[in-house]
Structure 1
Amino acid sequence: MAQNLADLFEHAVDAVPDRVAVVDGGSGREFTYADLERRSNRLAHLLIDRGVSGGSHVGIHMHNAVDTLAGFLAAFKLRAVPVNVNYRYVRDELAYVYDDADVVAVLTQPRYADAARAATEHPVVVVDERFEETLADCSSDRDFEERADDDLFLMYTGGTTGAPKGVMWRQADMWRVLGGGVDFYSGELMADEYAQSARAGESADPMRFLMLPPLIHVSGLMPTLGALFSGNTVIFEPRFDAARVWEVVETCRPAIMVITGDAMGRPLIDELEGRAAAGRTVDVSSLLAVSSGAALFSPALKARLLGLAPTVAISDSIGSSETGFGGIRVYSAADTSFATSDHAGGPRVPAGRGATVIDDDDAPLTEPGEGWFAKTGYLPIGYYKDETKSASIFREHEGVRMVVSGDRARLEPDGAITLLGRGSQVVNTGGEKVFVEEVEGELKSHPAVIDAIVIAVADERFGQGVAAVVAVTGAPDFEAIETHLRTRLAGYKVPRTYWVVDAVTRTPSGKPDYGWATSIAASSEPTHVRDAARSHR
């Protein structure tokens, strides 16, 4: 039984050809499943004309649009391998990814075309005014070779440090963990019949998904594909704009809004509150859920959103390009105790579905305690062209293969798992470990702090000190911020040094850019330094 991503999409096309598949905010057009099928087929034939064949790697260097999705689908259809490319990269970064990923062609948009051409000698296909004419001359036939479950899915991830690296998955395994091949809530596997989701979608009313994360990140691409496999409709916007998002909610009436943690959550909530204060309440009655993943969604922000939209549920999931889906928790206005609870760290999810916490010897913890987050079950093949790195995180313990991605985690007394943060981002201050995501979450719970990235800086007494790069409203009152933090954190976790910036830089997927924050600290004088005598009190 095939579980190939192109086959899954084509079964949905055959089941609901006249249903709207994509609402493209950039062009203002709607595309049915049959429209998207023809467009993807034409693009696949265009790529063949540019020298792409089965097994070739194709760079997808685009922001969200119908043709970004069509590019991924076209590559899957002809058994080529789409390579996601961060559209914020400059020439040298692009050249590294193009070379490391062995791309033989690049699909991009006009605003990125010059940078793409400067970074590669291979063909660059630009989705511009002439593209429509070129596409129209290509065949729309579905006449591609037979595909297989183990066709390659390759997702490049920048992580928090180091050069970008490609994570290799079998397509069938990626479908299992993030594309709808498993029920995220119950853990029940979809039957081994790849048309099951399409058949279910054919008999059900379609749901609309407002997909805000970038398609060049797994947190945007796989929810999109999963929605399409079940005959639903996805809505794209070319860029994230909080005011525009709420207009789309009112006009397009999505049932599900997919976001990336605080990076999207905070501006959306601020905009919603601002409109309510001005007497322009947004109609959110169509929204059933706001689904967050890939980055921290702070408890205080969740509580604010539920206060504004009490009929909406919030789902918060954990996972990565290396682990796939790791767990999910749902929040509602009926219980906002999570916002004031004393649990420290990042997201907390039920254990299971292959998620576990292990010790330094790779053995799963049997008692509550702190260790490393690990995942078993459906896993990647490894890193592309990096056997050494693959061996370091893809391991076996007593015959069970697991991935250990470098996140610290805590096994709770009730069996739940709390993520504490990336091990590489732990601040060791005077022998005490400080997980930066925990401090970032508490900083952002202060009403004056818009966004924050916490980093380590050199400290003569303690080796490392906790510091923060923050964006704030108005003139910052650091004493008030410290007082707020000291009611929530041990003294050694409270930042001593601050740099105030106009805006905190994040990756397109919403993750903190720790390299950028470190460079800010290295190249400029701090805005505020607390009295050293209080550092660990």
Structure 2
Amino acid sequence: MVSTLLKHSEAKIIFVDYQLLDTATGAFKLFSEKGIKLPYLVLIPDSYSPSSGANVTISMPEVLEYESFLAAGNPDFPIVRPNDEFDPISLNYTSGTTSSPKGVIYSHRGAYLNSLAAVLLNEMLSMPVYLWTVPMFHCNGWCLTWAVAAQGGTNICLRNVTAKGIFDNIATHQVTHMGGAPTVLSMIINAPASERRPLPGKVSAMTGGAPPPPQVLFKMEELGFNVTHSYGLTETYGPGTVCTWKPEWNSLPPDARAKIKARQGLQHLGMAETDIKDPATMKSVTPDAKTMGEVMFRGNTVMNGYLKDLKATQDAFKGGWFHSGDLGVKHPDGYIELKDRLKDIIISGGENVSTIEVEAVIFSHPSVLEAAVVGRPDDHWGETPCAFVKLKDGCSATAEDIITYCRDRLPHYMAPRTIVFEDLPKTSTGKTQKFVLRQKAKAMGSLSKISKL
């Protein structure tokens, strides 16, 4: 993957942390075999002394040590500003959850606006202390790399994201803000008591990247985190919408509040428009919380396009709106709510099954740590829901237990008919790779041939 992205981007320099040097050398080996010119490597050693990287041997034109490289620079260099605010500022790759990663081009204007929007979304006062669990390479850390700098903040970085590391760093550094995919939130709420530490104060946590199960949001707030739910894609610089909270919702029961907070909400101040449209007619759907359509965006905080892929860019902007590939509904108050990816929706016996809704129910089972639902081919129904489940340590549940649990809480056609217990495959940003699970479900064959369920 690294060699593919380096080749596609034509990067001239790569910064490599010592911990990932083996990955980099593997990528360079692939380059050498294909006769491609290698980029310069700047090695970040374990400790900040030039000698710590001196013994590194690698088949490269030149290896530079990070601190020495910086020291050789001119602190009075002339600033080179863009000729146009829509000139590219960075290239970010999509997560590759449904296909090969695409190179998304960000503009100076879009990055500037989304960074300021991130400050507002996180209610970030001056000099925040931000704990990084969102990878900085992913949408430039949801543009928070720039947002924290704009507010004069302190960055707390983790080599490995663990619940203990999160609690320890929050307590030690008096963390005020953090962000993370629902996977990270699940890690926090399921941490054993021995790894938890009292929060020094209210910690604002922004989540996104995948729809968070209401149960996870509810338990996070029980622990003392103030969770803000945002939604977006790499193509929208990370956060494009936010579930802006209404004071009147404070009086609702906790589970009802969590279900509302799980909505994707309204576009933030940096995004011009967000809508749910019929992709065929490009008409807005009825805001009845039932009629499904595709989530679409337009504005300055939408990408310039995909690098070296004109057709994909044209397809993404058909009708003058960016097509997200996500299916959702619009509530009467204008708040949007995701129901599924276009590629993930299951059609069983002519009925649409939202994998997000099924996953939320499975997630609420007391023994379940993680769950992902995909369609399994079926000769009779077309598809049936197939759930891949990881249980919490020390907990047990059978496939029949979970199927019965779902049937008690969902229409029967939505309840999974197949349960597979295993670890879920993830991208480097913590998203479940559903295309891998779909391949596994397809390989199982039709359920109707082997069961009367």
Class of the TM-score when normalised by the shorter of the 2 chains: 0.7 to 0.9
SS in 2 for 1:266: helix
Equivalent residue letter for 2:179: V
Q: Which of 253, 265, 270 does residue 349 from structure 1 map onto?
A: 265
SS in 2 for 1:214: coil
Report the equivalent of 1:267.
187
- CA–CA distance in 2 between the matches of 1:182 and 1:127? 29
Report the equivalent of 1:46.
none
Report the equivalent of 2:214.
299
Equivalent residue letter for 1:179: S
Change over 3 Å in CA distance of 1:222–1:427 after alignment to 2: same
Query: Aligned-pair distance for 1:290?
Result: 1.5
Equivalent residue letter for 1:468: A
Change over 3 Å in CA distance of 1:117–1:142 after alignment to 2: farther
Counterpart mapping for 1:332-343 below 5 A: 334=250, 337=253, 339-340=255-256
Identity %: 21
Deviations 1:148-180 (A, max 9, x none): 12331221113421211011121211221x211
SS in 1 for 2:130: strand
Equivalent residue letter for 1:328: V
Work out whether residues 363 and 370 of structure 2, in 8 Å CA contact, stay in contact via their aligned partners in 1.
yes
Work out whether residues 296 and 321 of structure 2, in 8 Å CA contact, stay in contact via their aligned partners in 1.
yes
Deviations 1:312-358 (A, max 9, x none): 32101001111343211267995564635896996331367511111
Unaligned runs of 5+ in 1: 1-92, 188-200
Report the equivalent of 2:86.
150
Equivalent residue letter for 2:349: G
Report the equivalent of 1:107.
15
Query: Aligned-pair distance for 1:236?
Result: 0.8
Change over 3 Å in CA distance of 1:365–1:389 after alignment to 2: same
- CA–CA distance in 2 between the matches of 1:456 and 1:281? 37
Q: Which of 164, 168, 171 does residue 105 from structure 2 map onto?
A: 168
Match status 1:376 vs 2:286? no
Counterpart mapping for 1:20-99 below 5 A: 93-99=1-7
Q: Which of 48, 72, 97 does residue 138 from structure 1 map onto?
A: 72
- CA–CA distance in 2 between the matches of 1:237 and 1:421? 31
- CA–CA distance in 2 between the matches of 1:267 and 1:467? 24
Counterpart mapping for 1:43-442 below 5 A: 93-110=1-18, 111=20, 112-120=23-31, 121-125=37-41, 126-128=43-45, 129-130=52-53, 131-132=65-66, 134-135=68-69, 137-148=71-82, 149-152=85-88, 153-176=90-113, 178-181=114-117, 184=120, 205-218=126-139, 220=141, 222-261=143-182, 263-271=183-191, 274-275=192-193, 282-309=197-224, 312-324=225-237, 325-329=239-243, 334=250, 337=253, 339-340=255-256, 347-350=263-266, 353=271, 354-359=273-278, 360-368=280-288, 369-378=291-300, 379-396=302-319, 401-442=320-361
Q: Which of 456, 461, 476 does residue 380 from structure 2 map onto?
A: 461
- CA–CA distance in 1 between the matches of 2:151 and 2:258? 39
Work out whether residues 156 and 165 of structure 1, in 8 Å CA contact, stay in contact via their aligned partners in 2.
yes
Change over 3 Å in CA distance of 1:504–1:241 after alignment to 2: same
TM-score (norm. length: structure 2): 0.82
TM-score (norm. length: structure 1): 0.70
SS in 1 for 2:329: strand
Change over 3 Å in CA distance of 1:421–1:350 after alignment to 2: same
Say what the alpha-carbon RMSD is for the aligned residues: 3.1
- CA–CA distance in 2 between the matches of 1:220 and 1:484? 37
- CA–CA distance in 1 between the matches of 2:258 and 2:75? 58
Work out whether residues 345 and 435 of structure 1, in 8 Å CA contact, stay in contact via their aligned partners in 2.
no
Equivalent residue letter for 2:141: G
Equivalent residue letter for 2:234: S
Work out whether residues 370 and 410 of structure 1, in 8 Å CA contact, stay in contact via their aligned partners in 2.
yes
Work out whether residues 277 and 283 of structure 2, in 8 Å CA contact, stay in contact via their aligned partners in 1.
yes
- CA–CA distance in 2 between the matches of 1:205 and 1:342? 29
Change over 3 Å in CA distance of 1:453–1:150 after alignment to 2: same
Equivalent residue letter for 1:418: E
Work out whether residues 177 and 205 of structure 2, in 8 Å CA contact, stay in contact via their aligned partners in 1.
yes
SS in 2 for 1:180: helix
Equivalent residue letter for 1:245: I
SS in 1 for 2:137: coil
Work out whether residues 126 and 151 of structure 2, in 8 Å CA contact, stay in contact via their aligned partners in 1.
no
SS in 2 for 1:314: strand
Work out whether residues 170 and 200 of structure 2, in 8 Å CA contact, stay in contact via their aligned partners in 1.
no
Equivalent residue letter for 2:242: I
Change over 3 Å in CA distance of 1:306–1:345 after alignment to 2: closer
- CA–CA distance in 1 between the matches of 2:391 and 2:112? 41
Work out whether residues 448 and 472 of structure 1, in 8 Å CA contact, stay in contact via their aligned partners in 2.
yes
Work out whether residues 11 and 39 of structure 2, in 8 Å CA contact, stay in contact via their aligned partners in 1.
no
Work out whether residues 409 and 419 of structure 1, in 8 Å CA contact, stay in contact via their aligned partners in 2.
yes
